[in-house]
Amino acid sequence: MLTTPYVTGTPNWIDLGTPDIDAANTFYNGVFGWQFQSAGPEAGGYGMFQLGGKTAAGGMTVPPEQGPPAWNVYFQSPDAEATAKAVEANGGRVVVEPMDVFDLGRMAIFADPAGAAYASWQPGKNKGLDSVNDPGSLAWLELYTPVPDAALAHYSAVYGWETSTMPLPDGSGTYTMVNPAGAGEEAMFGGVVPQAADPLEAQGDPYWLPYFTVTDCDATVAKARELGATVRMEPIDMEGVGRFAKLADPAGAKFAIMQGIEPQAA
């Protein structure tokens, strides 16, 4: 599971690029209770989605000609330049060269060998998201990719990720999970899924899908639909995991929600 403080290779930031950040604020406030706070004019419209005074995500307006609406995930790097070199040496591409973000940290944007976008954050004063796993916060990631083995080789070389597998409840195969080097399986934060195995994802481009924790999956889906979301997959149960659904916000950015299993009383 996601934890703080972060270590090398863990997801430590996530942000939304959207054509209208005010509209996005209205939507995500209704769904998760977030409040957008601008970082000021010097930040070019960038700001933070706050949840109970803690940062749950970042976001900014991105004109359509600069890219489609999307959630972007950042993995912690101790050295942005070294990470960029490792990306290129292992079949990936540097989309945005490492750059300082004031004194907050250093970022770079990449594409993996299949074209899935991701980024790195080298912390400065900003150590990462304040809130993870709590309701309305990032809890899990999934990479949909045509060739999981090639993707895992890339990210393991760049960040040192380790993997483990579990059988799928329906007996259709196995699910591959990733965790930071040396952190053990209790630090798993995401899964890697072959696109061909999921009809919903098979025809799209490779991408990282963020999951946010909710306390009531069905009620959250109903609220999101009311606010203009597209329900890409209705709520379903997964044995031993919980109940989840896949959505796209009114602008088209894809995300998912997960309601975990409540602990049983002894």
Tens-digit pLDDT profile for residues 122-138: 999 999 999 999 999 99
Tens-digit pLDDT profile for residues 38-97: 998 889 899 999 999 999 999 999 999 999 999 999 999 999 999 999 999 999 999 999
The contacts found for 97-101 with CB under 8 angstroms, 24 or more apart, are 98/122, 100/124, 101/126
Q: At 263, is the pLDDT very low, low, confident or very high (cuts 50, 70, 90)?
A: very low
Tens-digit pLDDT profile for residues 4-17: 789 999 999 999 99
Give the CA dihedral 36, 40, 41, 43, nearest 10 degrees: -90
Return the percentage of the chain with pLDDT > 70, whole number.
95
pLDDT at 265: 40
pLDDT at 41: 87
Q: How far apart are the C-alpha atoms of 155 and 86, rounded to whole Å?
A: 9
Q: At 266, is the pLDDT very low, low, confident or very high (cuts 50, 70, 90)?
A: very low
pLDDT at 166: 84
Left if phi > 0, otherwise alpha if psi is -120 to 50, otherwise beta: which for 201?
A: alpha
Q: What domains does the chain contain, in order, with CATH numbers?
A: 1-261 (3.10.180.10)
pLDDT higher than threshold 50 for residue 168: yes
pLDDT higher than threshold 80 for residue 119: yes
pLDDT at 174: 75
pLDDT higher than threshold 60 for residue 264: no
The model's pTM? 0.95
> Over the chain, what is the mean pLDDT?
94
Give the three-state DSSP class for 260. Answer: strand
| Full 3-state SS string of 108-176 | EEEECCCCCEEEEEEECCCCCCCCECCCCCEEEEEEEECCHHHHHHHHHHHHCCEEEEEECCCCCCEEE
Average pLDDT over residues 214-242: 96
Average pLDDT over residues 211-228: 98
Q: How far apart are the C-alpha atoms of 84 and 74, rounded to whole Å?
A: 13
Average pLDDT over residues 139-144: 97
pLDDT higher than threshold 70 for residue 1: no
pLDDT at 184: 85
Q: At 172, is the pLDDT very low, low, confident or very high (cuts 50, 70, 90)?
A: low
Q: φ, ψ for residue 255 (rounded to 5)?
A: -155, 170
pLDDT higher than threshold 60 for residue 112: yes
pLDDT higher than threshold 80 for residue 195: yes
Judge residue 65's burial from the number of C-beta atoms within 10 Å of its C-beta, 0-12 exposed, 13-18 middle, 19 or more buried.
exposed
Residue partners of 200: CB distance under 8 A and separation at least 6: 232, 233, 246
